[in-house]
């Protein structure tokens, strides 16, 4: 499989360190508020990567953490802890907020067909490991302590900045305008490993004893400690959103490699953002949508999974309700076809047409996860008269093992075309059929719109026109 690696800025042949095993660490959610459709895109793409690797015959060990302490509102050391902020906003304890939004995250993942990771460690359960790692860094001279925190001294780590390719001077200029909360921090890019419960954090609710006094860990050390604890010092794949490249992942590399002297990650996989109507999703713009908003508008969250697979994970993607509705229609059709295929016994794939489809599908996925191409291959296969129904059923099951719609587990899709139509509707359909035979597509489209406004959807398939009620 060819996979893009952010650190080497190239697409490379993926080979795990110890085949057939693959170790994969995915930065997980900070559980202080709802999981929105932007998060969905990221975790769906992690899920696709895992399924694709499995389809290639690898045994994937997948770890995704839950961040429930230490992630400040600015990725660097500024602002306040997101959990504390969430607790204030929702009028609850930090622990309740963490439990509630972890559950919301799980429910969202279930709705969009994301398999749970093999291990899902919580940061607050791994404080000891983090303290041990900081002590180790301290013993090797990579840290310094101030009245407020223990910092990683980036001067001591020559490769700092290699992941993002940002020159240190650029970073310094970018950060210089900020007000540094700690006057003793030596360089802006140095980052906190441990925050002491003093000053702005004097009332921090979550805190633990440590060799540097009462306090709490920084966000970055959490991921280094948890990935090391479950996957060892060298892992095959590490994923996250592109926002993690310049600070969070740069810092993870510095900590992990300084501590172990080994290359922390072979492949850095970063997902691009989901925008809404061309703008970044944010509470203030009122465009933060969750699976509940999708369902309220009659959109199956799995249809949004379908929508996301239509674009490449490294491209920015724009979400619109029109696109979601179109994905819903396509997903319904797919479900309908899968249901129809249940009438045929699955057959081993032997015909040339089916074998070719299988190869093309595999090549698309192996091409840095070209899911849009793979979806197109799926539709081609379903419409290909040279492939017997039983083989189509087998192919669909194989493809779905990667797409993760769980089609075979879904209830049969009952979507029957209407047969008893009122006369005015029949008349409009006749007019539309005439327009189509004249190739007057504008008139045919106008009539389709007219029918839609009366609550009917029309689908042209196999030489006939089927009419459905819009309320499904």
- The region of 19-27, 349-357, 387-395, 439-447 touching Zn ion under the rule CB under 5 A is 19-27
Two tokens, residue 136: 């180790």
Asked if 269 and 238 touch (Cβ cutoff 8 Å), the reply is yes
Binding letters toward Zn ion, positions 126-155, x by CB under 5 A:
------------------------------
Minimum CB–partner distance for residue 33 and ligand AMP (Å):
8
Q: Which spans in 342-469 are helix H?
A: 352-366, 371-383, 389-403, 423-437, 441-453
To ligand AMP, the closest distance from the beta carbon of 29 in angstroms equals 4
Per rule CB under 5 A, count of chain residues that contact Zn ion:
2
For residue 109, give the nearest of 290, 361, 378, 314 by alpha carbon. Answer: 290
Nearer to Zn ion among residue 31 and residue 354 (C-beta): 31
273 makes contact, choosing from Zn ion, ligand AMP, none, with CB < 5 to 8 Å by partner type, with ligand AMP
Tell me which DSSP letter residue 208 carries. Answer: B
CB of 290 to ligand AMP, least distance (A): 12
Cβ proximity to Zn ion: between 223 and 381 the closer is: 223
Return the one option of ligand AMP, Zn ion, none that residue 72 interacts with (CB less than 5 to 8 A, by type).
none
Q: Please, what is the minimum distance in Å from the beta carbon of residue 9 to Zn ion?
A: 21
* Calpha distance 377→389 (Å, rounded): 16
Least distance to ligand AMP from the beta carbon of 229, Å? Answer: 20
27 binds Zn ion (CB under 5 A): yes
- For 73, phi then psi, to 5°, come to -65, -20
468 interface partner picked from ligand AMP, Zn ion, none, CB below 5 to 8 A per type: none
With vertex at residue 171, the alpha carbon angle to CA 4 and CA 12, rounded to the nearest 5 degrees, is: 10
Q: What residue is closest to ligand AMP based on CB?
A: 241
Q: Counting contacts by CB under 5 A, is residue 223 touching Zn ion?
A: yes
- Cβ-based nearer residue to Zn ion, 270 or 362: 270
Q: Which is nearer to ligand AMP, 38 or 217 (CB)?
A: 38
Phi then psi for residue 253, to 5 deg, are -60, -45
Give the residues lining the site for ligand AMP (CB under 6 A): 27, 29-30, 38-39, 41-42, 240-241, 243-244, 271, 273-274, 281
CB-based contact 418:467 (threshold 8 Å): yes
Element at 317 (helix H, strand E): strand 317-319
List the single partner that 223 binds among ligand AMP, Zn ion, none, CB under 5 to 8 Å by kind. Answer: Zn ion
Q: Which does 274 bind (CB under 5 to 8 A by kind): Zn ion, ligand AMP, none?
A: ligand AMP
| Partner whose footprint covers residue 95, from Zn ion, ligand AMP, none (CB < 5 to 8 Å by kind) | none
Least distance between ligand AMP and beta carbon 460 (Å) = 36
User: What are the strands of the beta sheet with 279-280, ordered from one edge?
Assistant: 279-280, 274-276, 317-319
CA–CA gap between residue 456 and residue 330 (Å, rounded): 17
Helices 82-90, 94-111: crossing angle, 10 deg rounding: 90
Choose between 21 and 282: whose C-beta lies nearer to ligand AMP.
282
Instruction: Please say which residue, 261 or 278, places its beta carbon nearer to ligand AMP.
Output: 278
CB-nearer residue toward ligand AMP: 24 or 349? 24
> Pick from ligand AMP, Zn ion, none: which does 30 bind, CB < 5 to 8 A by kind?
ligand AMP
Contact region for Zn ion (CB under 5 A) — 22-30, 184-192, 286-294, 407-415? 22-30
- Record the tokens describing residue 141, joined without a space: 């001279």
In the complex, what is the shortest distance from the CB of residue 238 to Zn ion, in angstroms, rounded to a whole number?
Answer: 8
Q: Which one of ligand AMP, Zn ion, none interacts with residue 29, CB within 5 to 8 A by kind?
A: ligand AMP
In the complex, minimum distance from the CB of residue 122 to ligand AMP, in angstroms, rounded to a whole number: 14
Indicate the residue among 56 and 243 with the shorter CB distance to ligand AMP: 243
Q: Tell whether omega for the bond before 20 is within 30 degrees of 0, i.e. cis.
A: yes
Q: What is the DSSP string of 222-253?
A: HHHHHHHHHH-S-EEEEEEEGGGIIIIIHHHH
Could you tell me the smallest distance in angstroms from the CB atom of residue 154 to ligand AMP? 22
3-state percent breakdown (helix, strand, coil) of the chain, nearest 5:
45, 15, 35
Q: Nearest to residue 128, comparing CAs of 219, 8, 198, 226?
A: 226
Cα gap 181→78, rounded to integer Å: 7
User: Which partner from the list Zn ion, ligand AMP, none does 432 bind, CB cut-off 5 to 8 Å by kind?
Assistant: none
Min dist. Cβ of residue 218 to ligand AMP (A): 14
Distance CA 349, CA 394 (A): 7
Residue 119: which region, alpha, beta or left (left: phi > 0; alpha: psi -120 to 50)? beta
Structure tokens at 118: 């093999």
Structure tokens, 102: 């972890």
Number of helices (H) and strands (E) in the chain: give both, helices first: 15, 15
Q: Name which of 42 and 171 has its Cβ closer to Zn ion.
A: 42
C-alpha dihedral over 216, 219, 225, 226, to 10 degrees?
110
Cβ-based nearer residue to ligand AMP, 243 or 380: 243
117 or 400: CB nearest ligand AMP: 117
Q: How far is the CB of 288 from ligand AMP (least distance, A)?
A: 9
Sites of contact with Zn ion (CB under 5 A):
27, 223
């Amino acid at each position: 499989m060819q996979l893009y690696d952010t650190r080497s800025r190239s697409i490379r042949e993926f080979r795990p360190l110890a085949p057939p095993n693959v170790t994969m660490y995915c930065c997980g959610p900070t559980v202080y508020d709802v999981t929105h459709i932007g998060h969905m895109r990221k975790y769906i793409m992690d899920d696709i990567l895992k399924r694709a690797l499995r389809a290639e015959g690898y045994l994937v060990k997948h770890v995704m953490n839950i961040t429930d302490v230490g992630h400040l509102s600015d990725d660097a050391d500024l602002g306040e802890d997101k959990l504390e902020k969430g607790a204030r906003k929702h009028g609850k304890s930090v622990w309740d907020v963490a439990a509630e939004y972890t559950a919301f995250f799980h429910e969202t993942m279930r709705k969009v067909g994301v398999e749970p990771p093999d291990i899902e460690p919580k940061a607050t359960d791994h404080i000891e490991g983090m303290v041990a790692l900081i002590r180790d860094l301290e013993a090797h001279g990579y840290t310094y302590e101030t009245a407020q925190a223990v910092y990683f001294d980036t001067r001591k780590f020559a490769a700092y900045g290699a992941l993002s390719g940002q020159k240190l001077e650029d970073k310094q200029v970018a950060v210089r305008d900020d007000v540094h909360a700690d006057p003793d921090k030596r360089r802006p890019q140095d980052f906190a490993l441990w925050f002491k419960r003093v000053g702005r954090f004097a009332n921090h609710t979550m805190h633990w004893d440590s060799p540097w006094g009462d306090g709490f860990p920084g966000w970055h050390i959490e991921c280094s400690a948890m990935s090391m604890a479950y996957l060892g010092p060298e892992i095959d794949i590490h994923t996250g959103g592109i926002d993690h490249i310049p600070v969070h992942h740069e810092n993870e590399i510095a900590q992990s490699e300084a501590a172990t002297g080994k290359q922390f990650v072979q492949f850095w996989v970063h997902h691009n953002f989901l925008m809404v109507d061309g703008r970044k999703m944010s509470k203030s713009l009122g465009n933060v949508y969750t699976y509940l908003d999708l369902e309220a508008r009659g959109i199956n969250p799995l249809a949004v999974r379908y929508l996301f697979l239509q674009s490449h994970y490294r491209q920015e993607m724009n979400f619109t309700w029109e696109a979601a509705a179109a994905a819903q229609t396509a997903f319904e059709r797919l479900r309908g076809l899968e249901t129809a295929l249940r009438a045929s016994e699955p057959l081993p794939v032997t015909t040339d047409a089916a074998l070719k489809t299988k190869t093309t599908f595999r090549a698309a996925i192996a091409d840095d996860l070209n899911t849009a191409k793979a979806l197109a291959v799926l539709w081609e296969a379903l419409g290909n008269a040279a492939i017997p129904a039983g083989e189509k059923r087998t192919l669909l099951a194989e493809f779905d093992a990667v797409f993760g719609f769980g089609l075979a587990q879904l209830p049969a899709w009952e979507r029957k075309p209407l047969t008893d139509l009122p006369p005015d509707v029949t008349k409009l359909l006749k007019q539309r059929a005439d327009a189509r035979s004249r190739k007057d597509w504008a008139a045919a489209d106008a009539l389709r719109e007219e029918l839609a406004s009366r609550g009917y959807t029309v689908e042209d398939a196999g030489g006939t026109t089927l009419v459905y009620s819009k309320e499904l």
